[in-house]
Structure 1
Amino acid sequence: MLEAFNFRVLLDYLPLFLKGMWATAWLSGLSLAGALVVGTLACGGRLSRFRLLSALAGAYIEAIRSTPLLAQLYFLYFGLPSLGVRLPEYQTGILALSLNSGAYMAEIIRAGVLSVSWGQIEAAMAYGLNYFQRMRYVVLPQALGVTIPPLLGQAIVLVKDSALLSLISVFELTRAGQIITSERFMPAEGFFTTALLYLLIYYALKAFSSWWQKRLIFVQPA
């Protein structure tokens, strides 16, 4: 199979693929930061004692998790302009990835918070710690060790989902494969290289996840 590959053309397009790989990296990084903010806020709303806030957060999480990302992306890209809201392609893509991944991260963070035993929270209350002090010194440090591995897994999913942004003309790694296919009609070379570079990103994130997990200190409740 490799004998039929035109490696000379791939070398000519290598700068384009590297540019697309860099675009995928910063798009995913911004989307991941946005997803963490959205997920934390949604988690706080889901755990809130205010029923309306909890219901709104729950409705957002269920709506996002029960619909495909592609439909959400098309709604933001084609639907919002019909409502009078126009966003550039890159902003639309980052918003779609942030909202989609944020719903999953909200449930991951909520599971981590709920994993902390109530006895430890009661002990913190007995020491006179207020709500924010309990979250900072008791709940969040323990929840962090539980949530970091699945959060890193969700980050890997986000990177792969960023390939859908090529459908709204956002230049990233998959778009680079589409360009070489349209200009040279070499789909095998173009998308094989694209898949290979995604594989490199995946293993880099997986190695980082393993490195991070080895350094986490899990606090087991008595």
Structure 2
Amino acid sequence: MDVLAPFIEVYKLDNFKFLLEGFGVTLKVAAISIVLSFMIGGLIGTLRYARIPVVSPLLAVIVETIRNLPLLLIIFFAYFALPEIGIEMEITTAAIAALTVFESAMLSEIIRSGLNSIEKGQIEAARASGLNYIQTLRYIIMPQALRRMVPPIVSQFISLLKDTSLAVVIALPDLLHNGQIIYAQKGSYVIPVFVIVAFMYFIVNYALSLVARRLEIRQT
């Protein structure tokens, strides 16, 4: 019974509600970052695929730079460095901004690669049939590429959800942050808190992984 006592204490209503509040912040930050990064990453990936002089090479440099930086560094930069040049953001906004910048770079590469995976013969056939470049991209390339891109995009969204925990370094009141506050009350709470935090992350990420797996099967 002594072994179970910490679990019982942690799972009391107040503590559990506090963890759920943190989980709500985690999901909110992840959801907003997913939407924004998909929009921005989609635009960047498409522009890079189009190989527009000056624009595409410049975007390539930016994307490769961001992809090779630690996400933690970008979070620190958004919250601590930007205020030095007059751009101040509250904690949640800074976390969303940092995640969006990083994930946009990652997603843009997935989207660019997906567009490049379409056979050149289909593009040439579409152009020969009278479609212009935009029409070919919209009606021929994009629909096929999106089907191929869905599994890796969903996998990237799973990574994004897990990466929200890194924002604990700027005291984002997310699931991990609230869990730390609870187990700071008593050393014996550490394992029970980590168990429930891990379970919450697992449930959402496993559901997303099942979606990615099903979509991948449908492509084969």
Q: Do Structure 1 and Structure 2 share a fold, with TM-score over 0.5?
A: yes
Percent sequence identity over matched residues?
A: 33
Matched-pair contact (CA < 8 Å) for 2:26–2:161: yes
Matched to 1:176, the amino acid is N
Matched-pair contact (CA < 8 Å) for 1:43–1:107: yes
Secondary structure in 2 aligned to 1:47?
A: helix
Give 1:93's aligned residue. 95
- Number of matched pairs: 217
User: Per-residue CA shift, 1:66-118, capped at 9, x if unaligned?
Assistant: 11000111011100000111011111111111111111111111111001111
Give 2:211's aligned residue. 208
**Do residues 150 (structure 1) and 152 (structure 2) align?**
yes
> Any unmatched runs of 5+ in structure 2?
none
Aligned Cα RMSD in Å? Answer: 1.9
Deviation at 1:8, TM superposition (A): 2.0
1-structure distance, mates of 2:181, 2:114: 43
1-structure distance, mates of 2:196, 2:54: 49
TM-score, structure 1 as length reference: 0.90
Matched-pair contact (CA < 8 Å) for 2:147–2:219: yes
The runs of 4+ residues in structure 1 deviating greater than 6 Å are none
User: Per-residue CA shift, 1:174-196, capped at 9, x if unaligned?
Assistant: 11211102233422222222122
Secondary structure in 1 aligned to 2:54?
A: helix
Matched to 1:78, the amino acid is F
Give 2:200's aligned residue. 197
TM-score, structure 2 as length reference: 0.91
**Do residues 26 (structure 1) and 28 (structure 2) align?**
yes
